[in-house]
Amino acid sequence: MITFSFDGKSYTAREGDTLAAALLRNGVGLVGRSFKYHRPRGIMTAGVEEPNALVTIGEGGRTEPNTRATDVFVYEGLVAKSQNRWPNLSFDVGSVLGLAAPALSAGFYYKTFFGSAKKWMFYEYFIRKAAGLGNAPTQTDPDRFSQRAAFCDLLVIGAGPAGMQAAVEAAEVGKRVILVEQDNILAPSLLRDPQAQDAAWIKATAERIRAAGGRILTRTTASGYWEHDLVTLTQRIAEPGQIPPHNVAQCLWHVRAGHVILATGSIERPMAFAHNDRPGVMLSQAVRTYVQRFGVVPGKRAVIATNNDDAYKTAQALKDAGAHIVAIIDARPAPAGAGSGFRVYNNAVPLSTKGARHCLKSVTALVDDKTVSWDADLMAVSGGFTPVVHLHMQAGGTLDWNEHAQAFVPAASRQNVTTIGGAADPQAIFKMVPVSSPKKSFIDFQNDVTLADVDLAWAEGYRSVEHLKRYTTLGMATDQGKLSNMAALGRLAEKQGVAIPEAGLTTFRPPYTPVTMGLIAGAGAKDAGAHIRRLALYDLHAAKNPIWQPLGYWFRPRAYPTGGETLAQAALREAKAVRNNVGMTDVSTLAKFEISGPDAAAFLEIICATTVSKLAVGRGRYTFMLREDGVVFDDGTVWRLDENRYLLTSSTGGADRMATHISYVRQVLCPQMRVSAVNVQEHYAGIAVAGPKAKSVLATLIGEEPPRHMSTVPASIAGVPVIILAASYSGERAFEIYVDASQAEAVWAACETQVNEVGGALYGLEAMEFLRIEKGHLVVGGEVDGRMTPHDLALDKMLNKAGGYVGASGLARPALAETRRRQLVGLEAIEGDIPEGAMLVTQEGASPVGHVSAAAFRIIEGGSVALGQLTDGFARHGEELIATSPTRGQKARVRVVVPHFYDAAGERYRD
Amino acid sequence: MTKLSISMLPAAPLHAFEIWGNPAAVGKRFKAACGFALPALGRSDGTAALRLIRFEPTVWLVEGDASPLASILSDDGAVTAIGGGIVRIRLSGNNWRTVLMEGGVFDAESPTFAAGCSAATIIDHVNVRLHVVDETTCDAYVPLSFSQGLLHFWTQAADALAG
């Protein structure tokens, strides 16, 4: 026996029990409270369509609200709680809302809670208190959710007899087969209704499928059918709230199937009559399932209401289990049911029930226009069968109306999908129309929607079934109308005076059953969705305990504080080291491309908007790249390493975009060129050494005179081959050292030793930002923001006059030469510190004429400076503006200046 | 069933071997010099000293001694070192195909993905190149920056499968 608890009380269950079966076994009839009226509700079904018995399972981060008691298998220690009640399930204060039911009909919210948004915030508090489902857990889920792909020739959804037979036949002719069953056993319907295929057949067939290489997944629901026969499967590895093996609670399968067979069966329909929602009113097949599969008899005196033959099996099962069948109310005329051995009332339909909170007491029916009542503690209802066509419809299929079954069945398929079994050919039923009072005749149990609500929506002009759904909330929440839609369609058709197929259909959308958010997030649920990119030198940085900064997917050191420094203090110290002495930093994340071949220069002159072909071997230059519309999208440097070999660097953040652009130019624009363009971003780790002493540090490291500014040489540091590029982003004499990343640690260590030797320091991104802003260098994503042309950034003098580069034509558009464009400017604070991101205005209250893209403090002299974009900025040098950030409550008076605050002549680069 | 072993292989020289012209002539020169033909797309070939894996129409990944390749190519292509940015992760054991389906989009479980086959794909958002060494061994070529993350991801997946 297994011990579990419900609302704090301990119970026992048998191995294989669902929570619903276990509660019924323990005589628990009241399981939940309804969404709106807080009506007492019991267990109605034995499957995923259960609308009433919604419970919260588990504790802490494993809490799963709104779980159907019929869809969780009891395990030792399971903790379940009822929902939407206070102070307890039996005595629920919210049930007074039932008294106000006449006022809470369809559209109640829309008619009552209007006014300003502020008022809605007030209403919402009380509405959420009064109505709702379970509460979302507040703690982090400790478990993992995995996602995986799978491919097969045949995917069979539903492991009933038909599905298993289809799977074994395909597997044994060599097809790759996946068989999926949402229950925890195969062919569960055979336990409810024993047939020729018995347990031995199930076992043997499963073994044959596996022996032929087929895969069988139980506790797995096909939750969505997407384009190109992609089907998502939700696999429960652990039950809700259960500690899973190896921490993985669920797996989301993405299955690409050559063909899909849907053997999904059908769902039994309830009937609409007054008080049809009481505990003790259940679907007929569900009753049979509890009796035959679980050995639980839900009542001793049963009334059966039906319009088909199937319910007679339930009567027989109950009788065999010792229950008394008080009456069978059959909507069909005689001789239906004759010879069954039960007391059958033909031409009979249920009218209402009576009962207490926990149980049913009597059933009343209309028999040949006369009212008849019986004492009963169980009512098994069968209003027909609705084929499970959800996946067929998600796959783009169409439906036909089956008059005999009064149901929609799959028609044309637009993907490689076939429906078989009960889902394709449901049982015939007798068409019946509700005769009971519509006010308490529930059709959507989960949302407390009655026939009267449908009537009201119709009376208020809602004609479309889609409008009706939204107005009444019918077909929403966890069951998505699995039990209610046909009843609503029937009522709507009746009102319209048309046949049901003409009344319309709502859309079948994934998921078929609720899917947890954790499963959709998958492995990324715990770390923001993707892996973090680690620097080749990550361990060396980590040992210094830096402040890390996310940069795209990368994490880079922002600063290396020592002795309790703040970020600002550390960054300023590091920046001063670069200005006064020497600093070194990791620039490995820069984009890098090696371009080789006789046409390499010509290729680069299409990528870059500057000239390249005139570069001598061993020389480099600054460059930038344009989109086809003439707007700058990245910048970097290009170096001629050898006669036909170049190295192109560009920004970290734009690396992937640049790789795509280069691939596009290579494969689409220049397929004829004799050139190879290889992304070597990660092949080379990069170390920048910058400052007045950088040259002497490097000379010591490489044992020779370092290259002059914008020159490159191959060299060796610590015995490791490196490429030295003499380039500066900081404004000081500086070098970038590129080395095979697998050997970078030795080079970094040698550089750090030498830098320390002369009193230098490591510096991070924050100091780098101070340095480049002071120097007036651009950053992609800041000054280069996808709107600026070379002219706007004062780069136009560097354009390749011969043209031919990507963006040359776009740049010639007249609009780009007009006035009133934003242009790059420098800003000096006159009063106050310049807030980054601030708007630039001419006076308080005026419209913005630009914005601050980056702000910093002068490293040596102090004082706030910034780079910004200003309308007609080049012509406004000397003008005073206000930089204001209302969201931060900060502002400063600024003067517009040229965007170079440090060594404008570039003398510090040169020896 | 053998428990899956997942380990990083030591850093090794890797190169991109790209042909931009005269592929037939290059192929002939290559076979004459190396003793085996340039492998077809999605396939690998080679020896213990030199192995080529073709992941792209005009580009092969070269593992081993690439020194003879530049002269074979002459002016018809280029060889570029890329090994610093790629980590080789070896998955050994019966379950490697199942592990590679985690977070993947490629059919690593297909029986046709056999020894000597290669594929370029995405696994858990990371671009990965796969090479089937033999029925119980697959090498994955992973960007250096993602290698620790992916190693962790695969190790977790393998542990879950072992259960």
Among B80, B84, B162, the residue with its CB nearest the CB of A741 is B84
Contact B105 A254 (CB under 8 A): yes
Q: Is the pLDDT of residue A105 over 90?
A: no
With helix as H, strand as E and coil as C, how does A265-314 read? CEEECCCCCECCCCCCEEEHHHHHHHHHCCCCCCCCEEEEEECCCHHHHH
CATH of A270-383, one of 3.50.50.60, 3.10.28.10, 1.10.10.10, 3.40.50.150: 3.50.50.60
| Chain B 102-161, residues with CB within 8 Å of chain A CB atoms | 102-107, 109-110, 124-126, 143-150, 153, 156-157, 159-160
Q: How many CA atoms lie within 13 A of A515 on its CB side?
A: 24
Confidence of residue B1 (pLDDT cuts 50, 70, 90): low
When CB atoms are compared, the residue of A148, A596, A683 closest to B102 is A148
Instruction: Say if the Cβ atoms of A675 and B110 lie within 8 Å.
Output: no
Whether residue A680 and residue B81 make contact (CB cut-off 8 A), yes or no, is yes
Question: Distance from A241 to chain B by nearest Cα, in Å?
Answer: 18
Contact B85 A597 (CB under 8 A): no
Contact A151/B at CB under 8 A? yes
Residues of chain B neighbouring A553 (CB-CB closer than 8 A)? 145
Comparing alpha-carbon positions, the chain B residue that sits nearest to A531 is B149
User: Mind listing the pLDDT tens digit for each residue in B73-123?
Assistant: 999 999 999 999 999 999 999 999 999 999 999 999 999 999 999 999 999
Is the pLDDT at A114 greater than 80, yes or no?
no
Q: Give the pairing type, strands A583-586 and A761-762.
A: parallel
pLDDT band, very low/low/confident/very high, at A196 (cuts 50, 70, 90) = confident
Q: Which residue of B has its CA nearest to A539?
A: B148
The mean-pLDDT minimum among A408-422, A515-529, B31-45, B93-107 falls in A515-529
Q: Cβ contacts of residue A818 below 8 Å, gap of 6+?
A: none
The reply to whether A703 touches chain B by the CB within 8 Å rule is: no
A-chain residues near B157 (CB < 8 A)? 146
Q: Does residue A711 surpass a pLDDT of 80?
A: yes
Shortest CA distance from A247: residue in chain B: B160
Nearest-CA residue of chain B relative to A144?
B156
Dihedral in degrees, nearest 10, Cα atoms A496, A497, A501, A506:
10
Average pLDDT, integer, range A641-669: 97
CATH topology of domain B14-83: Alpha-Beta Plaits (3.30.70)
Q: Give the separation between CA A425 and CA A236, rounded to whole angstroms.
A: 30
Q: What is the pLDDT of residues A177-195, one digit of tens each?
A: 999 999 999 999 999 998 8
- pLDDT of A130 higher than 80: no
- Which residue is closest to B162 within chain A, CA to CA? A246
C-alpha gyration radius of chain B: 16
- Residue A826: CB partners within 8 Å, gap ≥ 6? A776, A865, A866, A867, A868, A896, A897, A898, A899, A900, A901
Would the ipTM clear 0.90, i.e. be above it? yes
Inform me whether the C-beta atom of residue B22 falls under 8 Å from chain A C-beta atoms: no
Q: Do B20 and A532 touch (CB under 8 A)?
A: no
Say whether pLDDT at A526 is over 80. Answer: no
Hey, where are the domains in chain A?
A: 2-108, 141-268+385-430+512-530, 270-383, 433-498, 538-588+683-771, 597-640+653-679, 819-909
CATH code linked to domain A141-268+385-430+512-530: 3.50.50.60
- Class for domain A433-498, per CATH? mainly alpha
Q: What tokens appear for A408 in the block? A: 């929609």
Could you write out the three-class secondary structure of A96-158? HHHHHHHHCCCCHHHHHCCCCHHHHHHHHHHHHHHCCCCCCCCCCCCCEEEEEEEEEEEEEEC
CATH architecture of A819-909: Beta Barrel (2.40)
Is any Cβ of chain B less than 8 angstroms from the Cβ of A534?
yes
Chain segment A568-616, per-residue pLDDT in tens: 999 999 999 999 999 999 999 999 999 999 999 999 999 999 999 999 9
pLDDT at A528: 52
Mean pLDDT of A447-453: 95
What type of residue is A641? Answer: L
Q: Do B84 and A536 touch (CB under 8 A)?
A: yes
In one letter, which amino acid is A373? Answer: S
pLDDT value at residue A540: 98
Lowest mean pLDDT among A128-137, A187-196, B33-42, B87-96: A128-137
The 10s digit of each residue's pLDDT in A805-859 is 999 999 999 999 999 999 999 999 999 999 999 999 999 999 999 999 999 999 9
Which pLDDT value is given to residue A103? 79
Q: What is the mean pLDDT of residues A349-361?
A: 95
Which residues of B, range 32-71, sit inside 8 Å of A by Cβ? none
Q: What is the mean pLDDT of residues A208-229?
A: 98
Q: Which residue of B has its CA nearest to A740?
A: B84
Residue with token string 């001789």: A335
Q: Which CATH code fits A597-640+653-679?
A: 3.30.70.1400
Mean pLDDT of chain A: 95
Q: Tell which residue, A727, A711, A560, A537, has the closest CA to residue A640.
A: A711
For residue A169, is pLDDT > 80? Answer: yes
Q: What is the CATH number assigned to the segment(s) B5-11+85-162?
A: 3.30.1360.120
Q: pLDDT at residue A354 above 60?
A: yes
> B114 to chain A nearest CA, in Å?
16
pLDDT of amino acid A95:
86
In B, minimum Cα distance to A538 occurs at: B145
Average confidence (pLDDT) over A417-444: 94
**Which of A144, A532, A739 lies at the smallest CB-CB distance from B149?**
A532
Record: fold of A2-108 = Ubiquitin-like (UB roll) (3.10.20)
CA–CA distance, B48 with B65 (Å, rounded to integer): 10
pLDDT band at A893 (very low <50, low <70, confident <90, very high): very high
Q: Is this prediction's pTM over 0.80?
A: yes
Tell me which of A130-134, A646-650, A905-909 is least confident: A130-134
**Per-residue model confidence (pLDDT) at position B29:** 98
Average pLDDT value for residue range A712-731? 98
> Model confidence at A264, in pLDDT bands (50, 70, 90)?
very high
CB contact under 8 A, A246 and B104: no
Show which of residues 68-107 on chain B sit within 8 Å of chain A, judged by CB atoms.
Answer: 75-78, 80-86, 101-107
Q: Which of A:279-308 have CB within 8 Å of B?
A: none
In the structure, what pLDDT confidence band is assigned to residue A98 with cuts at 50, 70 and 90? confident
Domain layout of chain B by residue ranges: 5-11+85-162, 14-83
How much of chain A, in percent, has pLDDT values that exceed 70? Answer: 99
* Nearest beta carbon to residue B84 from set A522, A678, A682: A682
User: How high is the pLDDT of residue A527?
Assistant: 61
* pLDDT tier, A482 (very low <50, low <70, confident <90, very high otherwise): very high
Residue among B80, B153, B157 whose CB faces A594 most closely: B80
**Segment A683-698, tens digit of pLDDT:** 999 999 999 999 999 9
Predicted local distance difference test score (pLDDT) of residue A104: 81
Smallest CA–CA distance from A743 into chain B, residue:
B84
CATH topology identical between A2-108 and A141-268+385-430+512-530:
no
Contacts of B150 in chain A (CB under 8 A): 531
Q: CB contact, 8 Å: A678 with chain B? A: yes
Instruction: Tell me if the domain spanning A538-588+683-771 has CATH number 1.10.260.40.
Output: no
